[in-house]
Amino acid sequence: MALLEVQDLHTFYGSIEALRGLSFTVEEGEIVALLGSNGAGKTTTLRSISGLERPRSGAIRFLGRDISHMPAHRIVQLGLGHVPEGRRIFVNLSVEENLMLGGYLLRRTPREVQARRDEVFERLPRLLERRHQLAGTLSGGEQQMLAIGRALITRPRLLALDEPSMGLAPILVQSIFQIIAQIRKGGTAILLVEQNARQALRLADRGYVLETGSIVLADTAKALAENRRVQAAYLGGEPEVAL
Partner 1 sequence: MSVFVQYLVNGLTIGSFYALVALGYTMIYGIIRLINFAHGDLFMVGAFAGWFVVGIAAGMHLPVAVQLLLALLIAMLAVGLLAMGIERVAYQPLLKASRLSILITALGVSLALENGAMIAFGAGFDTFPPNILPLSGFQFLGAQVGDVQLAMFVLSVVLMVGLYLFVQYTPVGTAMRALSFDQDAARLMGINVEGVVLITFLLGGSLAAASGVMMGLYYTQINFMMGFLMGLRAFTAAVLGGIGNIPGAMVGGLLIGVLQSLAAGYISSQWQDVIVFAVLILVLVFKPTGIFGERVVERM
In the complex, the smallest distance separating the C-beta of residue 71 from partner 1, rounded to whole angstroms, is 7
Chain contacts with partner 1 (rule: CB under 8 A): 50-52, 71-73, 76-77, 81-82, 84, 88-93, 97, 100-102, 104-105, 107, 150-151, 154
In the complex, the smallest distance separating the C-beta of residue 134 from partner 1, rounded to whole angstroms, is 11
Listed in sequence order, the residues at least 6 apart from 236 whose beta carbon sits closer than 8 Å to its beta carbon are none
CB closer to partner 1, 107 vs 229: 107
CB closer to partner 1, 116 vs 150: 150
Please tell me the distance from the alpha carbon of residue 219 to that of residue 239, in angstroms, as a whole number.
Answer: 23
Q: Where are the strands (E) in 64-184, listed by range? A: 65-66, 80-83, 158-162
Percent of the chain that is helix, strand, coil (3-state, to 5): 40, 25, 35
DSSP 71-92: -HHHHHHHTEEEE-TT----TT
| SS3 category, 47 | helix
In the complex, the smallest distance separating the C-beta of residue 92 from partner 1, rounded to whole angstroms, is 5
CB closer to partner 1, 74 vs 229: 74
In the complex, the smallest distance separating the C-beta of residue 13 from partner 1, rounded to whole angstroms, is 13
CB closer to partner 1, 43 vs 227: 43
CB closer to partner 1, 58 vs 84: 84
Please tell me the distance from the alpha carbon of residue 82 to that of residue 47, in angstroms, as a whole number.
Answer: 8
In the complex, the smallest distance separating the C-beta of residue 65 from partner 1, rounded to whole angstroms, is 16
